[in-house]
């Protein structure tokens, strides 16, 4: 399985799978089937896919550790970039189609509507992650510093869930589901860290034998 995950074809398949929601959207637009409120439909559609890809990206580390297949890591960059792609489309549709590229209107929204403030923060934090996602940037920054910067994805994911939670009016089932998934994914990391620290502590403790 690790070999399949490492294959370049897996990346090609993942690339096409990641593009499929965008293709679906283009197809619906072509058929003029974007409901009575296309702007709202596209905003929701792209927001949903941004959040899904953030969760897929965060699932990679637990999957790698649970299965012991290091090759999962090779898929993480593409999943993260797809989160950024759908997040950017989401912002572009909102700013371009909903707000008609009115910068002062967008700024007013960011200042006045808390869910937009949080969403914008989440998107802005993804920008340095997307820029520094290449192997060249890992080399330039050094792996430790690069890894530290990329922890920002946790803040983005929390911001994404809070943004969703705050914008829904009554039915909180879906944002709640994402909050539970995110808690499991982040909680799992914390538990793994505590376990690794305890193990290291045991190894350092002087033997009584
Ligand atoms: C990490 C970044 C972001 C994520 C993960 C995200 C995610 C989402 C999700 C999941 C929804 C609801 C979709 C649904 O109801 O099916 C949504 C809606 C929305 N988002 Fe975002 N979003 C992000 C950033 C932004 C930004 C930067 C803006 C604008 C500046 C924005 C504006 C909106 C608006 C206007 C809605 C629709 C609100 C409504 O219908 O009442 N989002 N977003």
Closest by CA position to 193, among listed 151, 157, 132:
151
Atom of ligand 1 at shortest distance to CA of 160?
A: 5
pLDDT at 15: 97
47 lines ligand 1 (CB under 6 A): yes
pLDDT at 114: 98
pLDDT one-digit tens code per residue, 112-169:
999 999 999 999 999 999 999 999 999 999 999 999 999 999 999 999 999 999 999 8
pLDDT at 120: 98
Among protein residues, the one with the nearest Cα to ligand 1's atom 40 is 40
State what percent of residues in the chain have pLDDT above 70: 98
DSSP 187-199: HHHHHHHHHHHHH
- The pTM score is 0.94
pLDDT one-digit tens code per residue, 63-90:
999 999 999 999 999 999 999 999 999 9
For residue 6, report the distance from its CA to the centre of ligand 1, in Å: 34
pLDDT at 70: 93
């Amino acid at each position: 399985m690790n070999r399949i995950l490492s294959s370049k074809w897996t990346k090609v398949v993942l690339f096409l799978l990641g593009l499929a929601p965008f293709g679906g959207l283009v197809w619906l637009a072509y058929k003029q089937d974007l409901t009575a409120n296309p702007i709202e439909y596209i905003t929701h559609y792209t927001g949903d896919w941004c959040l899904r890809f953030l969760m897929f990206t965060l699932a990679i580390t637990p999957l790698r550790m649970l299965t012991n297949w290091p090759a999962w890591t090779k898929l993480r960059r593409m999943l993260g970039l797809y989160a950024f792609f759908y997040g950017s489309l989401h912002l572009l549709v909102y700013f371009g189609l909903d707000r008609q590229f009115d910068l002062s209107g967008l700024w007013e929204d960011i200042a006045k509507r808390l869910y937009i403030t949080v969403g914008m923060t989440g998107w802005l934090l993804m920008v340095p992650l997307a820029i520094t996602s290449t192997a060249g940037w890992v080399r330039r920054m050094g792996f430790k510093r690069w890894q530290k910067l990329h922890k920002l994805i946790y803040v983005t994911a929390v911001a994404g869930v809070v943004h969703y939670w705050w914008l829904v009016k009554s039915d909180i089932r879906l944002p709640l589901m994402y909050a539970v998934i995110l808690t499991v994914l982040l909680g799992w990391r914390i538990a793994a860290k505590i376990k690794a620290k305890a193990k290291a502590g045991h190894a350092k403790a002087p033997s009584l034998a």
